[in-house]
Structure 1
Amino acid sequence: MRNQVHLLALLLVVALFLSGCAVAASPAPDQPLPELLIQASEYAYDVPDRIEAGLTTVALENEGELAHHAQLARLPEGMTPEAWLGLMQENPPAAIQAVTYVGGPGLLDPGLRQEVVLDLLPGTHLVVSFVFDAEGVPYLAKGMVKPFEVVAPSTAAKVQPIESNGTVELLDFSFILPAGIGAGPQVWEVVNEAQEIHEIMVLKLADGKNLHDVMAFLQTPNGEAPYVNLGGFQAITPGESSWLKLDLEPGEYVVTCYVPGAETGDPHFAMGMIQSFTVK
């Protein structure tokens, strides 16, 4: 009888142990974010034809010899890429206003890579370049645009939450940057609190250069730029937000916005949307 009691007690302990193991093993680990890799060169994008909706790391690798960015835009339902390109030729302001700007990696010098995180919604999207060459010809006119589809996710995946080191507010026409920006990898949440479309480009200044040198070069771009284009976050529609990934070295930086004003057509940096900051 005593042995039976001992056996029952042992079985109870084993059952409880196995039950505890089952409970501990039940939560599914967070999955890493899927990646949409965009490779840019003169004058084309290499990008997958489709990707599932949801939080996505969008990476730009500049494999060309010129600076490139990757502006993502979602077409309205029922509009094809061909229809948008036709509208762009006939009525550029109407084409610009027809799409929803969802951001993307900013202007990046050759050989560099930059990442942002976007919450992509289903629909037809474009990766498009609004950069101009030295003669004033847009890269878009040279064929630098590529459509892709964002489709509904096949399964409900649990992804890791986005943890940011600070928030960037885009205003008409200024920035509010995170306080005390330090060196190293970091994530900034980018929020467009303005009435117009805005972006934030990050420039690493050359030794001895300052904000006045940047302004002078932007107004008259002759010679070597007094900065390196580190990327940034492309234009985003008012009221939207996403995340910008950076890895900053100590030094002097400038952030700016190249988007043309809705009324004047002047670039936003000429309207005051340019600012310096120091990384220690």
Structure 2
Amino acid sequence: MTQWRPLLSLLAIVAACSPAKPPAAPAANVVTITATDYAFGAPDTIPAGLTTFRMINPGREPHQAVVAGGAGKTFAELEAAMLKEGPLPDWLTVPGGAGVVSSGDSSVVTVTMAPGNYLILCFIPSLDGKPHVQKGMYRRLVVTPAPAGAALAAEPKSDVTATLSDYAFALSTPLTAGTHTIRVENSGPQLHELTIERLAPGKTLADWQKWMEGGMRGTPPAEPAGGFTGPDKGKVGWLTITLKPGNYLLNCYVPDAKDGKPHFVHGMVQQVAVK
């Protein structure tokens, strides 16, 4: 056994001198938002950094969770700008939020949150035509600076990239049935969103357009499947979504910075087949 001792000592020295593996990057902070008719349940304060918003909808109506703020803005200024109809202010920032889903469903998005004041809002209209935000469906959120020396969270691994521009969607690869993490990039000069809607069997984009032009009367030809509200121009975010086989719409309802019309009016709506 004595002949092994020098070798074991050498191995011990090598192991002691080998550089330690760097610690793995932490995961994004997970924040649950509960959307009911017509209120949000969520934390009052969260730390800055990579954040996964998981919105669950136990309500009876479809809901979304738009997260909007403005550098240095007070809650009074945010509410004055966001709780009335009209063009969006130039200073508004929308890092991202959970797209609309139906009752009993959930929407999961990951965004980078900067310190500041934000509102969580739902702009989906009820059957009476009144947007939920006008029924009190908004909530204040404070994002505090991350602790000094906090490690940066690792970005989610995506298998599809969706690039948003004026006025189109570009997918890096066709969408397939199953669960995907979609990297959402806004390469346009203004705010956009990625809303995903599943068309009813036998329905097409033309049916949806006809339904919209008719004042959204009758049974809608598509139902919300989730999405990503935002991000701001030049920013990115991630949407985790499970898709069933079928035909879908990629849609953007954001009002245009120039004429105030929804972007789908400018052609930012696209039918895709998921197999």
Tell me the TM-score normalized by structure 1: 0.88
Separation (CA, whole Å) in 2 of partners of 1:74 and 1:15 = 59
Structure 1 spans left out of the alignment, 5+ residues: none
- What residue number does 1:175 align with? 169
Separation (CA, whole Å) in 2 of partners of 1:110 and 1:23 = 55
CA contact (8 A) 1:252 1:279 kept: yes
Worse overlay, 66-75 or 155-164: 155-164
C-alpha displacement at 1:19, in angstroms? 5.7
- What residue number does 1:132 align with? 125
C-alpha displacement at 1:18, in angstroms? 7.7
Separation (CA, whole Å) in 1 of partners of 2:21 and 2:263 = 51
**Structure whose CA Rg is larger:** 1
Separation (CA, whole Å) in 2 of partners of 1:158 and 1:196 = 27
Worse overlay, 197-206 or 128-137: 128-137
Worse overlay, 23-32 or 270-279: 23-32
C-alpha displacement at 1:92, in angstroms? 4.1
Within the candidate set 56, 59, 66, 2:61 is matched to: 66
Structure 1 residue identity aligned to 2:180: Q
- What residue number does 1:249 align with? 244
1:53 to 2:48 alignment: yes
Separation (CA, whole Å) in 2 of partners of 1:89 and 1:158 = 34
**Offset from partner CA, 1:89-145 (integer Å, 9 cap, x none):** 67843x643321111111111110111110111111111122223333222222111
- What residue number does 1:100 align with? 93
Separation (CA, whole Å) in 2 of partners of 1:18 and 1:169 = 52
CA contact (8 A) 1:75 1:126 kept: no
Separation (CA, whole Å) in 2 of partners of 1:90 and 1:40 = 21
Question: Structure 1 residues 161, 133: closer, same or farther in 2, change over 3 A?
Answer: closer
- What residue number does 2:224 align with? 229
1:110 to 2:103 alignment: yes
How many residue pairs get aligned? The number is: 273
Q: 1:19-58 alignment to 2 at 5 Å?
A: 20=15, 26-58=21-53
Structure 2 spans left out of the alignment, 5+ residues: none
Question: Structure 1 residues 22, 211: closer, same or farther in 2, change over 3 A?
Answer: farther
Q: Which structure shows the higher helix fraction?
A: 1
Separation (CA, whole Å) in 1 of partners of 2:32 and 2:100 = 16
**Offset from partner CA, 1:70-102 (integer Å, 9 cap, x none):** 11112221x211232234567843x64332111
Structure 2 residue identity aligned to 1:150: V
C-alpha displacement at 1:27, in angstroms? 3.5
- What residue number does 1:186 align with? 180
Structure 2 residue identity aligned to 1:104: G
CA contact (8 A) 1:38 1:58 kept: yes
Question: Structure 1 residues 257, 54: closer, same or farther in 2, change over 3 A?
Answer: same
Structure 2 residue identity aligned to 1:173: Y
- What residue number does 1:165 align with? 159
Runs of 4+ in 1 over 6 A off after TM superposition: none
Separation (CA, whole Å) in 1 of partners of 2:131 and 2:19 = 57
- What residue number does 1:144 align with? 137
Separation (CA, whole Å) in 2 of partners of 1:50 and 1:22 = 44
SS at match of 2:230: strand
SS at match of 1:106: strand
Structure 2 residue identity aligned to 1:71: V
Separation (CA, whole Å) in 2 of partners of 1:248 and 1:208 = 18
**Offset from partner CA, 1:245-277 (integer Å, 9 cap, x none):** 111122111111111222322211121111011
SS at match of 2:5: helix
Question: Structure 1 residues 89, 64: closer, same or farther in 2, change over 3 A?
Answer: closer
- Share of identical aligned residues, percent? 32
Worse overlay, 152-161 or 225-234: 152-161
Separation (CA, whole Å) in 2 of partners of 1:158 and 1:18 = 33
